[in-house]
Structure 1
Amino acid sequence: MLFPCSRGRKSSREKILDAAAELVAEIGAGRLTLEAVAEKAGLSKGGLLYNFPSKEALLQGMIQRLIDQVSAEKEALRGQAPPGPNLEARLCTAALLKLCGGQMKETASGMLAATAENPKLLDPLRQVIRETLKTLKETSEDVDAALLGWLAVEGLSSYEMHGLSPFSDEDRERILQAVNRLLSKGIAP
C-alpha cells in the first residue's frame, strides 16, 4: 500500500523534476547529468534512478510535466470561462498564455537541444497537438476562428518561450485582443 505524501510535501519525483528543470534552465538539457540532478534534489543517485531509470526517462518526465501543467491550467480556467463560442479554443489559448513565461519558458528553451538530438522525446507533445486539433474541430462553433486563434497563440508563445519575439508589449496586447475578438465573435459569414 502506498501512503500519500503529507500535504504540502513534495514527492521525490516532484523534487527530481524541479531540480532537473532548474538545471536545464541554467545549463541546458545537453549538459544535464543524473548526478547533478540527484545532488540538486537532495537525493542519492539510486533514489533518482528508482524514479527515472535514464536521462531519457527524466527528459520524458519533464516534457510530460509541462503537458500536464498546461492541461491542469486549462481545467482550472474552465470554471471561470464565460459562456460563448469556441470555448475549447479560448481555454487552450488562455492556459498557454498564462504558463508561457517563468520556469516553463526556461525549461522549454533548455529542452530544445535535447529534442533536437532525440525527436522522439516530443512524441507525447505531438499526441497532445493532434488531440487538441481534433477537439477544436469537433467543438468549435467557428472552426476557422478557433484554428486561427490557436495557431496565433501557439506561434506567439513559441516565440516568447524561445526568446525570439519581435513584438513590443503593446504589439502583444493588440494581438491577444484580436485573438480574443476572433474567438468570441468568429469569422464565419
Structure 2
Amino acid sequence: MLFSCTRGRKSSREKILDAAAELVGEIGAGRLTLDAVAERAGLSKGGLLYNFPTKDALLQAMIQRMIDQVAFEKDALRKQAGPGPNREARVVTKTLLNFCCGGKMQDMATGMMAATAENPSLLDPVRQVISTTLEQLKANSDDLDSALLGWLATEGLSSLEMHKLSPFSEEDRERIVKAIDRLVSKGIAE
C-alpha cells in the first residue's frame, strides 16, 4: 500500500487504487485489465466501474494519487526544512530522492510511463506539477542557478533509477546526492 486514508477502513476507491498499483508494479500498465484490478481489490467489476468507468480514468486517478503523495511529502519536508539558501530547492530535491528512487513507487512509476506512451495526455497533471515546481523555484531561490541545476540533476538521477538505467554504484549515488545537497544548500558562488 502506498498511501491510504488515516481513518479505519479503506474505501472501495482506495482498495482499487492499491490493487491497481500492485498490479502495475507486477505486470505494467499496458497489461493491466479492469477485471484483474477488481479481482485483486476483492470487488465486483461493477463496483470498480462505479468508481472508475474506464482504464484511463483509473490510470488518471493513480497518477493523481502519486502527485498527491509527493505534494504531501513536500509539505511535510517544507515544515521541517531549516532556514538557509534555496529552501524550496532543498525540499524539492529531497522529496524526489525520497519518493522516486526504489521500491514500490519505482515499479509503479515505470509501469505508468508505459501507459502514457499510448495516451500522453495522462501526463498533463505531471506537466502542471513540473511547471508549478519551476515557478516556485524561480520565486523562492536565493541562487536560482544552483536551485535549477540541483533540481535538474535530481530529476536526471531519478529518471535513470526509475527506468533501471543507472550506471552508478551505491557509493557513486551517495556522492552525487551529497553534491546535489551541497549545490542547493550553498550555491554555485561558493
TM-score when normalising by structure 1 = 0.94
- Name the CA distance, whole Å, in 1 between partners of 2:66 and 2:131: 17
Asked if 1:49 is matched to 2:49, the reply is yes
CA distances 1:29-83 after superposition (whole Å, capped 9, x unpaired) = 1111111101100111111111111000000111111111111111111222121
> Residue 178 of structure 1 aligns to a residue in which SS?
helix
Name the aligned partner's letter for residue 115 of structure 2.
A
Matched residue, 1:139: 140
Aligned partner of 1:128 in structure 2 is 129
Kindly indicate whether residue 66 of structure 2 is the aligned counterpart of residue 99 of structure 1. Answer: no
Cα 1:29–1:83 shift into 2, 3 Å: same
Measured in 2, the distance between the counterparts of 1:36 and 1:68 equals 25
Deviations 1:14-37 (A, max 9, x none): 111110011111111111111110
Partner of 2:157 in structure 1?
156
Q: Find the residue that maps to 1:53 and give its secondary structure.
A: coil
Q: CA deviation at 1:188?
A: 3.8
The code of the aligned residue for 1:10 comes to K
CA distance in 1, matches of 2:96, 2:11: 26
Deviation beyond 6 Å, 4+ runs, structure 1? none
**Structure 2 residues not aligned, in runs of 5+:** none
- 2:115 counterpart SS class: helix
Cα distance in 2 for residues equivalent to 1:128 and 1:112: 16
Q: What is the aligned length?
A: 185
The residue aligned with 1:20 is 20
Amino acid at match of 2:37: V
Using the alignment, how far apart are the partners of 1:89 and 1:71 within structure 2?
A: 14
Take 1:139 and 1:81, find their aligned partners in 2: how far apart are those partners? 14
* Distance in 1 (alpha carbons) for counterparts of 2:6 and 2:75: 24
The one-letter code sitting in structure 1 at the alignment partner of 2:72 is A
Report the equivalent of 1:167. 168
2:72 is aligned with 1:72:
yes
Matching residue's letter, 1:80: Q
- Corresponding residue of 1:37: 37
Stretch moving more, 37-46 or 5-14: 5-14
Alpha-carbon shift at residue 6 of structure 1 (Å): 8.1
Task: State the alpha-carbon separation in 2 of the partners of residues 169 and 119 from structure 1.
Answer: 33
1:111-162, Cα deviation, whole Å (9 max, x unpaired): 1211111111100000000110011011100000000000000110111111
**Separation (CA, whole Å) in 2 of partners of 1:127 and 1:71:** 13
Distance 1:6 1:173 in 2: 33
Q: How big is the alpha-carbon RMSD for the aligned residues of Structure 1 and Structure 2?
A: 1.3
Partner of 1:11: 11
Give the Cα separation in 2 of the matches to 1:6 and 1:78: 21
Partner SS for 1:31: coil
1:59 aligns with 2:59: yes
Cα deviation, residue 163, structure 1:
0.6
